[in-house]
Amino acid sequence: MQNSPLRIAIVGGGIAGVALALDVCRHPHLDVRLFESAAAFGEVGAGVSFGANAVRAIDGLGIGEPYGQIADQTPAPWQDVWFEWRRGADAGYLGASVAPGVGQSSVHRADFLDALASRLPQGIACFGKRAVQVQQGEDEVRVNFADGSSHSCDLLIGADGIKSSIRDHVLAGLEAPLAQPRYSGTTAYRGLIDSQVLRAAYRERGLNEHLIDVPQMYLGLDAHILTFPVKQGRLINVVAFISDRSQAEPQWPVGQPWVRNASQAEMLEAFDGWGDAARVLLQCIGAPTLWALHDLAELPGYVHGRVALVGDAAHAMLPHQGAGAGQGLEDAWLLARLLGDAQLAGGDVQALLAAYDTVRRPRACRVQRTSREAGELYELRDPATAADETLLGQTLAERFAWLWEHDLQGDLRRARQAIGALQNA
């Protein structure tokens, strides 16, 4: 280890995997390869939101500049607003969640991934490599791919999403049940609207254009709608959620795709009875897509030996706090800090990964849990606030502080302490 670089393999070329690869490839004591199953980098979906914690992780990973060039933020004087909360029935104001200095920081997923991937040095990324098996020995890991090839490394990072194959190896090694994606009972209609088209429609109906300029969340029983700008304000990202709570453990039909094309009529019927602001918004989406929302149960561990999970492979969550991608970036930030320290990376790699698990898992599990709870809150199913709009507005204004104000440097200190304790045990 003192004479040769630590060989790191990252499986999965999404935002978390590429961000991690970009940071660790800068260090001469690390040799990094990234394996992506697709023929090229690509993200599914449209807008993605980042809280203040995620923006700090982005800066810490050295990708703040490319992010800043393409990110959207709420315009002044509302630049600190994350979302305004309104009744779906009449757009009545309930309150706002404010993130000072950050507000609603969002970007188109594909644009962000393109910006990151374009900065990867040649020779790091390998495409058409779908991992099917992991074999772990005392000193190295071998990952086998569907095309018959394999790769050996000192440390393997699974960043391969909610359907991760690397996760199976980790959980089997922990003698824990395998974790399958679970359907939440919620589906979401998604669409992008040209902001000028939406302005014209709002003017025609006498609706306040403030509802376009500032991110909005419209709340209703078993449904909610969010809007925020992407593409430097040229497009408005819309996601309209609707939940079926008739089953305690809902099941998505086997073989049915998680994403399909939907009709505008189908979407409008789902939001029948909602107010003009919401209805006009949906009427401007000519060809929505419908997404079945899945997450993972909290895992008993993210690490087995020399193999670790990051991002959705470890803690896929519902999107209701705008926190899923940010948690992957927090994973990447901490791992990059630990691996970037030549002394730590040249020591006990398994202790390093175990410390990552010790620090990151409780935090990510809490974000998973509260993301589900947020959906209940937005859809008026929280017993404490459903019948009290004042308390609802206050709760929404205050509930995100712990998420956004997280101390990343404190995580790093705790991880270093944990590594020391493991090495001295």
- 3-class secondary-structure state, position 74: coil
Which of 259-291 are b and which e, b meaning 16 or more Cβ less than 10 Å from the residue's Cβ? eeebebeebbebbeebbebbbbbbbbbeebbbb
Q: Which residues share a beta bridge with 219?
A: 87, 224
Task: List, edge to edge, every strand of the sheet that includes 81-87.
Answer: 93-98, 81-87, 216-220, 223-230, 235-243, 182-194, 289-295, 259-261
Task: Extract the tokens encoding 416.
Answer: 């270093």
Residue found under tokens 């453990």:
249
- How many degrees, rounded to 5, is the angle at CA 81 between CA 78 and CA 85? 115
What residues contact 393, with CB distance under 8 A and at least 6 apart? Answer: 85, 94, 95
CA atoms of 138 and 305, how far apart (whole Å)? 9
> In the structure encoding, which two tokens stand for residue 319, read together?
């999107």
According to DSSP, residue 181 is labeled: -
Q: Decide if 47 contacts 237 (C-beta within 8 A).
A: yes
Which one of the listed residues 33, 87, 109, 190 is annotated catalytic?
190
Q: For 35, what's the count of Cα atoms within 13 Å in the CB-facing half-sphere?
A: 26
E strand or H helix at 87, and its extent?
strand 81-87
Of 112, 95, 114, 107, the C-alpha closest to 51 is 107
Contact call for residues 327 and 53 (beta carbons, < 8 A): no
Q: Show the CA angle centred on residue 334, arms to residues 302 and 347, nearest 5°.
A: 80
Full 3-state SS string of 294-332 = EECCCCCCCEECCEEECCHHHHCCCHHHCCHHHHHHHHH
Asked if residue 5 lies in contact with residue 29, where contact means CB atoms within 8 angstroms, the answer is yes
HSE on the CB side for 16, CA within 13 Å? 32
Is 414 annotated as catalytic?
no
Measure the CA angle with vertex 292, ends 177 and 321; round to 5°. 85
**Residue 86: both structure tokens together:** 């309104």
The residues carrying an active-site annotation are 190
